[in-house]
Amino acid sequence: MAGDKINARSFAWYQPTGMDNNADPGLTGVITNLLGQLVPGITGAAHGAIASQATNGVIQPGMESFLGTQPNPVPGAPKAYLNWVLLDEEQFKTVDGNYGAVSVQPITGTQEKQLLQSNSGNPIEIKKNGYLYVYVSNESKGNVYFDDIRVDHIHGPLTEETHYYPFGLAMAGIGSKALAFGGPENMYKFNGKELNNKEFSDASGLETYDFGARNYDPQIGRWHKTDNKAELYFATSPYVYALNQPTNAVDPDGNLVIFIQGNHFGEKGHAYWTDKNHFLITQRAGLPTPNGYHLINGHGNGATYGKDRSFDNEVMDQLNDHHTPRYYDGSGGGWHPFFIGRTTNFAFGREEMGYDRGKEDAATIIANLERDKSGNIIETIKIVTHSMGGAYGSGFVRALKEYIRTLPIEQQKQIKITLIADFDPYDASDFTADPNIKTEQFKHKGNGNITGMGWLANEDEKGLDKKNIHTNTGTSTDHTIFSFFNDISSLSEGTYKWDNTQQTWIKQ
């Protein structure tokens, strides 16, 4: 970029005996190669034909000057050089003053090699955005050896600093729009999204950020269209940004925990996982309040403290992933009484429902995964299921993997599903755990009655190692997801290694 600096260097050595530095009467390889890449239409250019190529317009203005920068060699030295040339990014024209060559010098005494440095050892100052080519050349009939060719890139100064109010409006008073060397204005700002700005002839614009799925207006802190997943957030307006919590959330940033619920009684959306459950403890009065709890009542020698806990929040605490999760209904929606012949009552039916939904959402899920500044995917996918959601999740994961296999190999290498946690899966023996994904099953053995659900969800998943099946880790034998709070602390992601032969991730 304009404002950057470059240092180029190389070591050179040649055998003085028999060196002939007369110009090669035939095609000069390095010029042919360079022109062939930079000047479309040139398939060969004899060294003496450069002037004619410039005259007829094939060589861009400035290229003739560059090709003439190679100085005549000192007697006894080869016609060999360290060269550099900067081409602009619009039409690949040479940038005035940003080209040159350094000659290989005569060998003296016992000298083994000599150091060539561009621009007399001073940095090359890049005057314009473009492409810098650094190469070595030899136009003599003897051999010249180059070694340790090195290019150091010194980045230019910071071009812009911008601070934001929580909803994205710029703080003009403490930001900086000073651009070095007349470079273009940075349009990728709040959350790294492109600002639609100065698009019209009067320098006005939409003044919205392009988040991909929809545009965001930081002046009002609202989207201009509804959330595509609005049905998951019935309690919130589909136009608000980051659930109206921009100081501790972004919308979206890609990190993903997928929660798949089981049979339920008509709770809407993700309330299945986010409902607060009140936990009580009692201790001797006068002792410090337990961390995270609040006093409910205190009398005599005892005091009662309470704490509201939601299952999904504590799972995300454990996995250190508090970014936008996704919630799915793995029971077909609402309450389905057992044994009445519905498809949802059978594992294969719920597995196919999960597969169909996974196919529908796979492209969106992968497209929204978090990436670094180079565009590489840097997050993982975690699946948490309960009850009927276990079979649904099995089909969902199968669809995700099928879609991932259609992507380029280099992208496949970046996408990992690192955990499946199945809590009290219903009909567990009727579906098979994925052998290439770390899967943990948690269940309560129960005592055979309706409260303990011992008859309902006490089966083991097929294909799952016994060490990954955890039974009665807590004191409860109830089937509800809230009876598994004790198991959250054991959740962790698996580790994986890419297998080039099988072109897939292998669980370690």
pLDDT for residue 26: 36
pLDDT for residue 291: 64
Which domains are assigned to the chain? Answer: 5-154 (no CATH), 158-236 (no CATH), 256-275+310-507 (3.40.50)
Task: Compute the mean pLDDT over every residue in the chain, rounded to the nearest whole number.
Answer: 77
DSSP 484: G
* pLDDT tier for residue 254 given thresholds of 50, 70 and 90: very low
Among the ranges given (52-56, 75-79, 357-361), the one the predictor scored with the smallest mean pLDDT: 52-56
290-318 confidence digits (pLDDT tens): 665 666 666 556 776 666 778 888 888 88
Q: What is the pTM of this model?
A: 0.48
DSSP 168: S
3-state secondary structure of 18: coil
Helix ranges (DSSP H) in 369-471? 389-404, 409-412
* pLDDT tier for residue 454 given thresholds of 50, 70 and 90: very low
How many CB atoms are closer than 10 A to CB 467?
7
pLDDT for residue 31: 53
3-state secondary structure of 466: helix
The 3-state secondary structure of 262-331, one letter per residue: CCCCCCCCCHHHHCCEEEEEEEECCCCCCCCCEEEEEECCEEEEEEEECHHHHHHHHCCCCCCCEEEECC
pLDDT for residue 238: 85
The mean pLDDT value for 364-371 works out to 85
Are 5 and 126 within 8 A, CB to CB?
A: yes
Closest CA relative to residue 72, chosen from 31, 29, 101: 101
Are 464 and 441 within 8 A, CB to CB?
A: yes
How many CB atoms are closer than 10 A to CB 271?
14
Distance, in Å, from the CA atom of 308 to the CA atom of 294, rounded to the nearest integer, reads: 9
Distance, in Å, from the CA atom of 401 to the CA atom of 145, rounded to the nearest integer, reads: 51
pLDDT for residue 99: 85
Partners of residue 8 on adjacent β-strands = 151
Find out whether the peptide bond into 425 is cis, omega within 30 degrees of 0: no
Closest CA relative to residue 404, chosen from 355, 436, 358, 362: 362
Are 394 and 426 within 8 A, CB to CB?
A: no
The mean pLDDT value for 42-49 works out to 42
pLDDT at 336 over 80: no
* pLDDT tier for residue 381 given thresholds of 50, 70 and 90: very high
pLDDT for residue 499: 86
The mean pLDDT value for 139-163 works out to 84
The mean pLDDT value for 270-286 works out to 63
How many CB atoms are closer than 10 A to CB 234?
11
Among the ranges given (34-43, 200-209, 328-337, 405-414), the one the predictor scored with the smallest mean pLDDT: 34-43
pLDDT at 410 over 50: yes
74-110 confidence digits (pLDDT tens): 887 888 899 888 888 777 778 887 888 888 888 877 7
Are 262 and 331 within 8 A, CB to CB?
A: yes
* pLDDT tier for residue 54 given thresholds of 50, 70 and 90: very low
More confident residue, 300 or 194: 194
pLDDT for residue 169: 83
The listed range with the strongest mean pLDDT (11-15, 232-236, 279-283) is 11-15
Going by C-beta distance under 8 Å and a sequence separation of 6 or more, which residues neighbour residue 429?
459, 460, 461, 462
Place of tokens 């007829």: 56
The listed range with the strongest mean pLDDT (69-73, 103-107, 146-150) is 146-150
Place of tokens 């948690």: 442
How many CB atoms are closer than 10 A to CB 352?
16
472-505 confidence digits (pLDDT tens): 776 677 788 888 888 988 899 988 888 888 888 8
**What six digits make up the tokens of 417?**
């599903």
* pLDDT tier for residue 433 given thresholds of 50, 70 and 90: very high
- Burial (CB < 10 A; 0-12, 13-18, 19+), residue 411, is middle
pLDDT for residue 438: 94
Q: Could you give the percent of the chain with pLDDT greater than 70? A: 70
* pLDDT tier for residue 51 given thresholds of 50, 70 and 90: very low
The listed range with the strongest mean pLDDT (121-135, 220-234, 322-336, 391-405) is 391-405
CA distances from 354 to 238, 273, 315, 347, 359 (A): 25, 18, 22, 10, 9
How many CB atoms are closer than 10 A to CB 314?
14
| Residue at 103: amino acid letter | S
